[in-house]
Amino acid sequence: MPSSVQLLAIDPQNDFCDLPAAYLPPSTKPSLAVAGAHRHMQRLANWLRREAAHVDAITITLDSHQRFDIAHPDFWQLPDGSAVAPFTPITATQVRDAQFMPRQPAHLARTLDYLDALERQGRYTLMVWPVHCELGSWGHGIHADLLAACGAWQLAHQRPMQHVLKGTNPFTEHYSALMAEVVDPDDPGTALNRPLLQRLAQSDLLVIAGEASSHCVRASVEHLVEYLPADHAQRLVLLTDCMGPVAGFEAAEQDFFAAMRTRGVQFATTDTLRLAD
């Protein structure tokens, strides 16, 4: 058994989970549910209860947005002033051609600067997502079963888990737990989170789960592999039955898995990852 085990649960939030009716408040539903995510979080909760004695630290990341956000529909409009639908990709060229425009003209220059910088990196095209994980909302909260398991772990170990909020800057996407897609020099919260990196680097085994494997899990793990010392990649283990891709992005998940295997990242399921063995 590794001498130090940490769990990193990436965005295990209600808005990303395909929750059954029994888990839903009246007139509420998840806004960006990943197929299977409810069962993913139940598996993770069960694994944590089983292995709690051997888990030394837990970090939970929380996608944390405001209603006003460059990746939300109400930021944008079509030439006739009508709404832009969720799941619409937008490029800098399309904005320059006035196919899509910020609703507030004063935001145009900053928006183009952001889109240009994003596209130069070649990682993502801006995607207009449904409003999700709004700060203070039910959707921002942690899946109930996992929250209960984390609470039991805290009582047993008499120590808190760590929470990392990401995404509060409305002018840059922030998939990764470690840094925004485009760093805002005026906002230190978008830069590389070195304290988090250092804390995760202390583990002999870093168990990673969460949503979604096509986006936030992928971006976070890619940054971990990039910024941790080279020999740390083999200390990372992805719980593949505790994550899944956004619908339509299954190929992104498979590309991510293939790339991480070449870097030495481990893969397991909750059935096979037994820390006491």
Is the pLDDT assigned to residue 2 strictly greater than 70? no
Mean pLDDT of the chain: 96
Higher local confidence (pLDDT), 231 or 92: 92
Query: Lowest mean pLDDT: which of 95-104, 152-161, 223-232?
Result: 223-232
**Is the bond leading into 212 cis (omega within 30 degrees of zero)?**
yes
What's the pLDDT tens digit per position in 109-156?
999 999 999 999 988 999 999 999 999 999 999 999 999 999 999 999
What's the pLDDT tens digit per position in 247-269?
999 999 999 999 999 999 999 99
pTM: 0.96
At residue 253, the pLDDT reads 98
CA atoms within 13 A on the CB side of 242: 31
What's the pLDDT tens digit per position in 38-69?
999 999 999 999 999 999 999 999 999 999 99
Q: In this prediction, what percent of the chain has a pLDDT beyond 90?
A: 96
State the pLDDT confidence band at 277, using cuts at 50, 70 and 90. low
